[in-house]
Structure 1
């Protein structure tokens, strides 16, 4: 069984500014700083933030399921502002998903705002199709809103 989920979040930050954060390791640092109690702790296992980088997310205590996941960045495309990662260990892999891939794309809305398109593609054995309901874009949406708010405040304070 294959599935796809997608959700757009509008943020009041220019696309170039959002992409500078999303394409780099700064995204994980901001996730720690702004959402450590919600998303968990993000640490780089290997790499410099480019394709092939592996990050480990340790989920907050009380989070159901496996306590962590490792994700490898498989695509970083500056032209279309797209970052893709695939869970390679823990997380959704440990509960039966064969493939769990996340995509974050920053789309220019206008000069002062952008859209963060969060999407998930997954594959899971048909016998485990009830597990497919666990697939979600929610953590990425929460992250987009928090980072957007943080960057907007930072931009406003420099005006």
Structure 2
């Protein structure tokens, strides 16, 4: 009887803690870039790892390695930055072709290695007009407890550079 009571108590307590614990709020960094091309064209160039292939060809990153998947949800990619001494691994958690949206969660490296507990990168291609769109890119992140004073903040520059690279590719 006592064992059953203990089990029920711990299950209820665990549910209570899970429901009433508030994770740290995410901070957001954003970048928007207008492109003189339809959002569907921009998405086609971006999706299925297209932006990473383009970034490696243009030496924006050293290389990338697909650890799992084919560019859809669940794909895990390791990105090696120039000069090659650091890397970042992410998993695609949402790929929505209809909304032209990709969301990736950082798993290892980059700012996760120096104090961020969460790093989520989003890219969305939004139709502005028939021949114009906006690349909305962003990073959402949270800082680990104990690292607040160091204020580790992801750098939006690579995300902005990827957007610019995509814009140049599609417009030319």
Q: TM-score scaled to structure 1, two decimals?
A: 0.85
Q: How many angstroms apart in 1 are the aligned matches of 2:149 and 2:33?
A: 27
Residue segments in structure 2 that go unaligned for 5+ positions in a row? 1-23
Equivalenced residue count is: 148
1:99 aligns with 2:121: no
- Tell me, in whole angstroms, the C-alpha distance in 2 between the residues paired with 1:118 and 1:152: 18
Q: Deviations over 1:9-52 (max 9, x none)?
A: 11122100111122212121111112x2x333222111111000
1:5 to 20, 24, 29: 29
Point out the structure with max Rg over C-alpha: 2
Instruction: Kindly report structure 1 stretches of 4+ aligned residues shifted beyond 4 Å.
Output: none
The unaligned stretches of length 5 or more in structure 1 are: 154-159
Please name the residue that 2:3 is paired with.
none
Give the counterpart of 2:56 among 32, 39, 47.
32
Cα RMSD (Å) of the superposition?
1.7
Q: 1:52 aligns with which of 66, 71, 74?
A: 74
CA distance in 2, matches of 1:26, 1:150: 11
Of 39-48 and 72-81, deviating more is 39-48
Q: Is the alpha carbon distance of 1:128 and 1:54 closer, same or farther for their aligned partners in structure 2, counting shifts above 3 Å?
A: same
Contact 2:128–2:134 at 8 Å: present in 1 too?
yes
